[in-house]
Amino acid sequence: MSGELSPIDKAKFVAAKRAAAFVEDGMRVGLGTGSTAAWLVRCLGEMVRDDGLRIRGVPTSTRTAVLAREVGIEVISLDEARWLDITIDGADEFDGDLNLIKGGGGAHLQEKIVATASDQMIVITDASKEVETLGAFPLPIEVIPFGWQTTRALVEETLVSMDVLGRDISLRMNGDAPFITDEGNHILDLNLKRIGNPRQLAMVINQMPGVVENGLFIDICDTVVIGHGDGKVEVRDINTGTVEHDRLDFVESDNLFKDLAD
């Protein structure tokens, strides 16, 4: 079955498989959203089923919750967990300081809440997501529907004084209708091309009325696990400054390769 996977899916799989090793029995685990995080959920589900791993998962979206239950992970709310041992999630971009852009899947609000309520955040990704400077991937900001066009105008005006290369803003759509988040909000995608000062931009955007949260994750990620299509894995820890290299083999009979629709 693994021979049917594309190199990018293999990279996502080995990153998820390596990150799953950080999860220990009895942990409360934040479960991210997106295609790479879905691999992680499948890996943990396999460990629950085959190895007797006992964990409680806090999903960051409705679709992650559905998948977690399908693979046998006990799902609880963040209010029930109160605090998490670890959160494992993907990213749309990351830089050398492990600052991130997230929100391509529209779940960055819950993802940021869960990640900051954790002792440790691990990001699983492939090498294509690493950038020298954040901003090539559009930066999502979640805004309330009321007055969203006014909020957009305020953001456009503010970007004039920010260290960014582009200032195009688009309302995220789902077909002919605006995309709606799990909280019932809209998303504005900021096509900035380059963000010179992510910390400043994140603070300024979040001060605007109508803005709920932005997709910049600054000083939140502790470790990044980078997968490659040939099975190589690199683990970078920002706190210790260490870099580890590993290689994972693909198992032809692995049940994880079934039901890949995510």
Residues forming the active site: 111
Do 136 and 193 form a contact (C-beta atoms < 8 A)? Answer: yes
Q: Is 193 annotated as a binding residue?
A: no
Q: Is 85 annotated as a binding residue?
A: no
Token pair in block for residue 75: 């799902």
Q: Is 30 annotated as a binding residue?
A: no
Q: Is 17 annotated as a binding residue?
A: no
Q: Is 33 annotated as a binding residue?
A: yes
Q: Is 35 annotated as a binding residue?
A: yes
The residue written with tokens 């799989």 in the block is: 13
Q: Is 34 annotated as a binding residue?
A: yes
Q: Is 89 annotated as a binding residue?
A: yes
How big is the CA angle at 189 (ends 183 and 194), to the nearest 5 degrees? 135
Q: Is 170 annotated as a binding residue?
A: no
Do 242 and 222 form a contact (C-beta atoms < 8 A)? Answer: no
Query: Mind giving me the DSSP string for 105-166?
Result: TS-HHHHHHHHHTBS-EEEEEEGGGB-SSTTSSPEEEEE-STTHHHHHHHHHHHHTTSSBS-
d(C-alpha 211, C-alpha 142), whole Å: 6
Residue set of the binding site for substrate: 33-36, 89-92, 102-105, 129
Residue set of the binding site: 33-36, 89-92, 102-105, 129
